[in-house]
Amino acid sequence: MTLIAPSILSADWAHLEAEIRAIEQAGADWIHLDVMDGHFVPNLTFGPKVVETVRKITPLFLDTHLMITHPEQWVERYAKAGSDQITIHAEACADLPSILALIKSFGKKAGVALSPDTPVTVLERVWADLDCVLVMTVHPGFGGQAFMPGPVSKIAQIKAKSKCLVEVDGGINAKTAPMVWAAGADILVAGSAIFESPDYKQAILTLR
């Protein structure tokens, strides 16, 4: 069963609570939270206060994708804000094993995200510690970008090494989802394909 994780980056932020209720009712499995710091990526989004706010609105699994430098300094705040899973970028971590242990010390699932040019081999020392690997199929930073097929081959490489879940993020829509599903993805993140659709339920069903 493939899980669908709408990214609220593409939601209507003037009506965030209503948007979250709408994706709950439309059958979303997880909520994907794109945290960007204006350093690791050029764009800037939101911090722990918004995660805490979303936590108050919904019981859904909160999947926090940290696109930030020095994530080790922020894990505690995103954990206490109510994240269920915290995913850090391999490119932003000097010491992956210790940050994964830190995430787990708060009782949270731990994930590592790989930007399109980052090879799976960076996970060599942490295969046993991973709950999830997030394969980016766009360069992190913005919603609504075109899907890059190159990173899809990483899914099989990850599955050969670990029983962890594989999540795919960036440019997922009705056209690209079949390719990543066939490659073995467990979770599909989608921002614009859901929030720019007039019917969220239909959009989620189509991706499923």
The DSSP bridge partners found for residue 44 are 37
Q: Where are the alpha helices (H) located in 10-127, listed in sequence order?
A: 16-25, 48-57, 75-80, 96-105
Task: Return the number of the residue (39 or 163) whose C-beta is nearest ligand DX5.
Answer: 39
- Cβ-count burial 16-41 (b if 16+ within 10 Å, e if not): eeebbebbbebebbbbbbbbbbeebb
Task: Look up 199 and say whether it is catalytic.
Answer: no
Which part of the chain contacts Zn ion (CB under 5 A), choosing from 38-46, 61-69, 154-162, 175-183? 61-69
| 8-state DSSP, 44 | B
- Length of the chain as a residue count: 208
Spatial CB neighbours of 9, under 8 Å, sequence gap ≥ 6: 34, 45, 143, 191
Report the residue number whose CB is nearest to ligand DX5. Answer: 191
Q: Does 169 help bind Zn ion (rule: CB under 5 A)?
A: yes
Task: Look up 117 and say whether it is catalytic.
Answer: no
141 binds, among ligand DX5, Zn ion, none (CB under 5 to 8 A by kind): ligand DX5
d(CA 127, CA 86): 16
132-136 and 165-169: which strand pairing? Answer: parallel
Residue 24 corresponds to which tokens in the numbers above?
């709950």
Site string for ligand DX5, 17-56 (x = CB under 6 A): ---------------x-x----------------------
193 binds, among Zn ion, ligand DX5, none (CB under 5 to 8 A by kind): ligand DX5
Considering only residues 149 to 208 of the shown chain, the ones binding ligand DX5 according to CB under 6 A are 169-172, 189-193
Which part of the chain contacts Zn ion (CB under 5 A), choosing from 58-66, 93-101, 103-111, 198-206? 58-66
The DSSP bridge partners found for residue 64 are 33, 86
Which residue from 155, 154, 206, 156 is spatially nearest to 178, judged by alpha carbons?
206
Set 34, 37, 129, 131: catalytic member? 34
Q: What is the CA radius of gyration of the chain?
A: 16
Task: Give the count of residues interacting with ligand DX5 (CB under 6 A).
Answer: 21
154 binds, among ligand DX5, Zn ion, none (CB under 5 to 8 A by kind): none
Binding site for Zn ion (CB under 5 A): 34, 65, 169
Task: State the catalytic residues.
Answer: 34, 169
Residues lying near ligand DX5 in the complex (CB under 6 A) are found at 7, 9-10, 32, 34, 65, 138, 140-141, 143-145, 169-172, 189-193
